[in-house]
Structure 1
Amino acid sequence: MRDCPKGYISKQEFSAIYKNYFPFGDSTKYASMIFQLIDIDQNNEIDFEEFIQALNVSAKGTVEERLEVSFKLFDLDEDDRISPAEMLAVVDSIYRMVGPTQVLSEDEDTPNKRVEKVFRLMDKDHDGFLSKQEFLDGARNDPMIMNSLNLYAGMV
């Protein structure tokens, strides 16, 4: 009630909250992507019910449910597959958001390298896209993805 007395939050307010949590980087793009994901009715507001649904999956959902949400995050054009360009847009927004606070291995120290590595490991049919199943299977073996899924575990 204190943070959201109107019962909903706008994209700008949501972005401002992300900025508080990631002060050393630029969270604007990532916050916008997460906002679109949570705003189920696409009315440019996240209401209490949408927020609680998202928080519930993030905090108490099964690994499968959380991976499904991750897939939706990366599948920007909602065609049930992830292109390298889609993944790069999301990964780049994450790298910009965390800024210099994370030290990454040489094979993942840029968004392009991260995307190339993910596709090398996950694109089993070598068609240049990740199907939902390829992503779900590959993500289970990716420490960075699995760690991000546990960010809110146990919070609710």
Structure 2
Amino acid sequence: MGNKSSKAKRQLIVKLAEETYFTEDEVKKWYTGFSKDCPNGRLTEQAFYKIYQQFFPKGNPKKFASFVFRVFDEDKDGMITFEEFIKALSTTTRGTLEEKLLWTFKLYDLDNDGYITRDEMNSIIDAIYQMLGPNIVDTNDDDPVKRVDMIFTHLDTNKDNKLSMDEFMVGSQQDPKIVAALSLYNIHNNN
């Protein structure tokens, strides 16, 4: 019986190494850690939040972690499987600029209607500032509302106060400042 389980695990690791930017050894290490933290093979939103809390102890990452959890949970069953986890991690840490922007669009499009509104972007940016906590971001120099205004000024080419995927992708790829503004949530990650 254990041999069958071992073979299935091996097949999963090989499959995920082919589908992600991780090597088999890296997938295996992530799998071991994930299995240790989630013995039932599923990560709950509460456990996901606790992980973020470890990275941002001076802030409140609950709102942002909830937004990210929603994107990681591809099948929308309220749990993140290892496969969902490793694919999202691969995209956000090692994906191409286009893949990262597509993922970021999904994050910002809170109601999944194919557009990012100012309110949606304000919600995400606000969640980021809450997560980072006081003294991490100089809010006198980097006001969240000004950040959203700057992004919309550059990306909203038809001036309808919402960003289509096309506007988001094209505009973001043309202006490195926009990518930096959108990537504030990745401040702790060098990739």
Same fold (TM over 0.5): yes
Which of 150, 157, 163 is residue 117 of structure 1 equivalent to?
150
Unpaired stretches in structure 1, ≥5 consecutive residues: none
Aligned pair partner of 1:67 in 101, 112, 122: 101
Spell out, residue by residue over 1:15-51, the C-alpha distance to the aligned partner (whole angstroms, 9 max, x if none). 0110110111110000001001011111111111110
Distance 1:26 1:76, change over 3 A: same
Q: Distance in 2 between matches of 1:128 and 1:29?
A: 24
Give matches, 1:94-105, under 5 Å.
94-100=128-134, 101-103=136-138
In the TM superposition, residue 105 of structure 1 has moved relative to its aligned partner by: 6.5
How far residue 102 of structure 1 moved from its aligned partner, in angstroms, is: 2.2
Look up the SS of the partner of 2:43 in the other structure: strand
Is 2:50 the partner of 1:13? no
The structure carrying a bigger helix percent of its residues is 2
CA distance in 2, matches of 1:150, 1:64: 21
**Deviation of residue 60 (structure 1)?**
2.3
What TM-score, normalized by structure 1, do the two folds share? 0.87
**Aligned pair count?**
151
The equivalent of 2:80 in structure 1 is 46
Report the CA distance between 1:137 and its aligned residue. 2.4
How much is the aligned-residue C-alpha RMSD, in angstroms? Answer: 2.0
Partner Cα distance (2:48, 2:190) in 1: 17
Evaluate the alpha carbon distance shift between residue 58 and residue 9 of structure 1 in structure 2; reply closer, same or farther with a 3 A threshold: same
**For the Cα contact (< 8 Å) 1:63–1:149, is it kept in 2?**
no
Greater than 2 Å deviation, 4+ residue runs: 102-106, 137-140, 143-153
Is 1:90 the counterpart of 2:124 in the alignment?
A: yes
Shift of 1:103: 2.8
Mapped to 2, the partners of 1:44 and 1:6 lie a distance apart of 14
Aligned counterparts of 2:168 and 2:129: Cα–Cα separation in 1: 20
Name the aligned partner's letter for residue 127 of structure 1. Answer: D
- Displacement of 1:145 in angstroms is 2.6
- CA apart distance, 1:104: 5.3
1:151 to 2:186 alignment: no
* Alpha-carbon contact 2:147-2:181 (below 8 Å) kept: no
Q: Which amino acid aligns with 2:145?
A: N
Q: Normalization by structure 2: what TM-score?
A: 0.72
Q: Structure 2 unaligned runs (5+)? A: 1-34
Query: 1:71-124 deviations in whole A, cap 9, x for unaligned?
Result: 011111111111101111111101110112123563x32x22221121112111
